[in-house]
Amino acid sequence: MCGIIGYTGFRKAAPILLDALKRLEYRGYDSAGIAVINHEIKVEKRSGYVSYLSGNMEGHVGIGHTRWATHGEPTDINAHPFVDCRNEFAIVHNGIIENHEKLKEDLIKKGHRYSSKTDSEVIAHLLEEEYEKAGDFRKAFINAINRLKGSFAIAAIHKGEKRIMGVKKESPLIVGIGDGENFLASDVPAFLPYTNRVVILEDGDVCEITPKSVSFYDMNGNPVEKKEEYIDWSPESAEKSGYEHFMLKEIYEQPVAIENTVHSLFSTHIDLKYHGKINVIACGTSYNAGFAGKYLMEKMLKIPVEMHYSSEYRTRPNVRERALSILITQSGETADTLMAAKIARKRGHETLAITNVLGSSITHHVDHVLYTSAGPEIGVAATKTFMAQLASMYYLSAKLGVDYGIINESRHEEFMEEFRRIPRLIENSLQLEDDIKKIAYELKDKEHMFYIARGINYPLAMEGALKMKEISYIHAEAYPAGELKHGPLALIRKGTPVVAIVSKDETYEKMLSNIKEVSARGAYVIAISSESEVKSYVDQWIRTPSNNPDFSTFSSAVVLQLLAYHTAKLRGCEIDKPRNLAKSVTVE
């Protein structure tokens, strides 16, 4: 979940490293640091944000790191980069070294002195030891990483050399190829202003970059060939472009993100077998997108769709079944979802990934891939990638319906006509922002909220509650509205905010009854609905533009995102960097 950057080239390294780390802060912001070679290795690191670093260093080769703490609290001492005892090597690391205690114990016996409480520092000391034997940086690096157990992406530099060594094992690492300069990073936005030519490393790949060359090896040191790819993202897509926060910018990018995703989906050919059952496996926001898709899939396909949290999937008994398993992950690097993909394959399931990142790790562990072309998302709280995942599940529901012979061409075309209107629907929903700001003002001093809905809107209620708790720190819970009387009503008192999502479908009358239940107990009810009748039962009504129950989810999602955003802004919260969270969860 940490962010790594490496640079070697003709420019000053420090400004590039700091700029890149700011683009990677969504991966962690507990501490940050850089190391630059200028005759000797100079290190600047401290707890807190990248902006706390001065970057006052000379030199054209360096590495940097922004941290989400796992081993060792977020302090100056535990910040990366780490150096060896002789200050000849510096390293940055993302992942977990499972055997670090044993390695550390052995190295201390040999005279090595440690300064931190992290698992990562051991790598620098291993490099020092292996270099004494090998006398060559590349050989020492390969020998050192072969002594490590766990998950890791590592970048390392050696005093007096212009090359950077890197390795990927279950944590992301990408090479950026420029002219007279090359880059190494956890994610493309880090170096996007300089190049969009990339090589995406796979597990076990070792890279060696100099200003004018890139070379690749396996973990035994044997040369390997890698394919260069072109990332079709503009540098501006990783900038705020005048918006106060990345989250707001990305909310407003959703019409284009869906337009691009729809085009990508229609351009992708996948042939999926009929299995009679579908599993959807994901975490967090991706789980909520998949959960909404479950409702639509069961409605259209008339087959069971079972939801699984990725982190819980491995504990599920190995039930023998023929199934399609859909794995959803924005980054393609989510550790729990990657493990679930491997398990599903072992169980004989046909597997399909929905991801936003070309060539990410999960694409190597599934049978099929659907890409959401949402562009880079920097805000930790997912918005446009959620919407793109939701659109992908809708597209897949209709496609499978036709492929399986369950829906006819006429029904399919009718559905696709609505599907193509989603970008316009989102644009119309964004026009509700001023009304939403006024309601956010009523919520800013609350500490507890409830979200209620039925049917396909229940996953949207879950997503709305998740967004609110992530960025405003208001305790927010989502419930199927029918469950209120089974416990949650005990927590409703005068002034308790309740957000109700209401569609004119088979759940409509029951939702009105549930609204009356909470209103009778003094709740402050905010309804998200296209139906004017709802207004007479609630304190606030946000009128959404869609009256199609299947597609009103997209309108509701926009409202819920903006409501969380403006509430958090009024509370003075750090919206793009919510406490204790990071965007790409690459550890289990």
Greatest CA separation for the chain: 80
Task: Read off φ and ψ for residue 83, nearest 5 degrees.
Answer: -120, 160
Q: Minimal CA–CA distance to 84: which of 144, 169, 30, 170?
A: 144
Chain position carrying tokens 């998950």: 151
Distance of CA 247 to CAs 139, 238, 305, 464, Å?
Answer: 44, 12, 31, 14
Residue 159 is a catalytic residue: no
- Please confirm, yes or no, whether 2 is among the known catalytic residues: yes
Considering 2, 207, 283, 573, which one is annotated as catalytic? 2
User: Are 171 and 586 spatial neighbours (Cβ–Cβ below 8 Å)?
Assistant: yes
Closest CA to 260 of 385, 401, 398: 385
Query: Of these residues, 45, 249, 399, 583, which one is catalytic?
Result: 583
Tokens of 210: 């100099």
| 308: Cβ contacts below 8 Å, ≥ 6 apart | 279, 280, 281, 316, 340
**Sign of torsion, CA 253 258 259 261?**
positive
Q: Which of 189, 242, 254 is nearest to 3 (CA)?
A: 189
Give the SS3 label for residue 516.
helix
Residue 93 φ/ψ, nearest 5 degrees? -145, 140
Please give the structure tokens belonging to residue 120: 């990562």
Task: Extract the tokens encoding 281.
Answer: 């496996």
Tokens of 445: 């001093």
Q: What is the C-alpha to C-alpha distance for residues 61 and 118, in angstroms, rounded to an integer? A: 25
Active-site amino acid positions: 2, 583
